[in-house]
Structure 1
Amino acid sequence: MNAAEHIVEAYFRLCRKCFTLTDLKVIQGNNRQFDLLAINIHENLAFHVEVGVTHRPNWAPTVVQLESGFEKKFFGSVPKRESKANGKTDHEKGKIYFDQIQNTYQAVGIDPEKVQRVWVCWIVKGKENTQPITLDINSKTLNRRFKVEVLSMRDLLLPELQRNWNFELR
């Protein structure tokens, strides 16, 4: 886990009162893992959370740039690569890991149809970032619609952690 993932895990554990599982390997997922699964037992809520906060200049992606990350992390698409050797890449084989993602939800007791997908980034360029942004995404990989909640670490998570746990950011 990187520092941003630790902060997001703390937010879901402390502010949203969730039990958390970090860096969970996707069953038969060929080097795939979830950044965070968070479960609020009292409210019967489950979240698949991916964190896209880095030190690079692209801390402020647009909604269009986010969608390719959603396809890979939430819907199991694979990057377009061609093999250099005789073997075939997952893309060349037409591999999609959506079923493995669904099976991993089920393995920890989450109904795949009820999981809420959440993406955390620094901010979203061109959007108001003080409230969650709910996107209705049409997955190109699955030709199916999903909702993804996008949270700003800068404008939502850090201030809420500060308010709820009474510490001062300097």
Structure 2
Amino acid sequence: MNTAERIVESYFRYCRHCLTIPDVKIPGGNNRQMDLLAWSPKTKTAYHVESTVVPSGRHFNKSKSWKSPLAIFQNKFYGQRKEHQTETSVPAQDDPDFQKVLKTYAKYSFDASNLKRVWVCWHLSDYEVTHDEIITYFEAREVRKELVEIISFRDEIIPALEKAVGTSNYEDDVLRTFSFFAERGKQALTASSHPRA
């Protein structure tokens, strides 16, 4: 897990009160994994979460060419090999790589037809894709719009974690780091309102 993925996992655990399984390996998936599977006991909602957190709004492949989020989804949510990725390809139900994704869901008792697909990005306005285009992309793949969610790392995840933490000694490194930032903010306010003589 990279840093952003760890923060996203903490958000689902502490702010959405989900059980989480990070870095889920896809058997036979050629070094493929899902960033996060999560389940909310309260709402009975299952999530497949993928993150592309790049403040510039650009995600580049090894050849340094920009890839749109829709092409990235082909790999992240449908297992399409990177050399075959296009924005328009709709994987057949019997596609071997897509079947590996479906089998991974089943391994954790997640029903693919009711699984919420979540994409976390820095902020959607940074990308050359609209919310409606993302919904249309998933609807073309038989995922209902209520099962698609886009979360801003900048505007939702960071503020929610900042609000959720105090100054306790959290065992979770992410929350511990956020608690340091929160305490620093409080002390900086106190120091500015009581300047030294």
The size of the alignment, in residue pairs, is 147
Distance in 2 between residues matched to 1:104 and 1:119, nearest whole Å? 18
Residue 36 of structure 1 aligns with which residue? Answer: 36
Distance in 1 between residues matched to 2:83 and 2:149, nearest whole Å? 26
Distance in 1 between residues matched to 2:122 and 2:135, nearest whole Å? 20
- Asked whether the equivalents of residues 52 and 119 of structure 1 are also in contact (C-alpha less than 8 Å), the reply is yes
Deviation at 1:42, TM superposition (A): 2.4
Residue 68 (1) aligns with residue 71 (2): yes
Residue 8 of structure 1 aligns with which residue? Answer: 8
Residue 124 (1) aligns with residue 138 (2): no
Distance in 2 between residues matched to 1:44 and 1:25, nearest whole Å? 23
What amino acid sits opposite 2:137 in the alignment? N
Give runs of aligned pairs for residues 1-170 of structure 1, distance below 5 A: 1-54=1-54, 57-58=56-57, 65-80=68-83, 96-125=96-125, 135-138=134-137, 144-146=141-143, 147=145, 148-166=148-166, 167=179, 168=182
Partner SS, residue 112 of structure 2: coil
Distance in 1 between residues matched to 2:40 and 2:101, nearest whole Å? 20
Distance in 2 between residues matched to 1:46 and 1:103, nearest whole Å? 15
- Asked whether the equivalents of residues 123 and 155 of structure 2 are also in contact (C-alpha less than 8 Å), the reply is yes
Greater strand fraction, Structure 1 or Structure 2: 1
Distance in 2 between residues matched to 1:124 and 1:28, nearest whole Å? 32
Distance 1:48 1:66, change over 3 A: same
Partner SS, residue 36 of structure 1: strand
TM-score with structure 1 setting the length: 0.74
Could you give the per-residue CA deviations for residues 41-90 of structure 1, whole angstroms, max 9, x where no partner exists? 221111001111147x44599xx921111111101212227xxxxxxxxx
Distance in 2 between residues matched to 1:60 and 1:144, nearest whole Å? 23
CA RMSD across the alignment: 2.8
What amino acid sits opposite 1:102 in the alignment? L
Partner SS, residue 83 of structure 2: coil
Distance in 1 between residues matched to 2:59 and 2:72, nearest whole Å? 14
Gapped runs of 5+ residues in structure 2? Answer: 61-66, 85-94, 167-178, 186-197
Q: Which has the higher contact order (CA 8 A, sep 6+)?
A: 1
Distance in 2 between residues matched to 1:138 and 1:162, nearest whole Å? 33
Distance in 2 between residues matched to 1:126 and 1:152, nearest whole Å? 11
Could you give the per-residue CA deviations for residues 79-127 of structure 1, whole angstroms, max 9, x where no partner exists? 227xxxxxxxxxxxxx652111111011011111111111111112268
Structure 1 runs (4+) deviating above 3 angstroms are: 57-61
Distance 1:76 1:150, change over 3 A: same
Greater helix fraction, Structure 1 or Structure 2: 2
Partner SS, residue 31 of structure 1: coil
TM-score with structure 2 setting the length: 0.65
Over the matched positions of the two proteins, sequence identity in percent amounts to 36
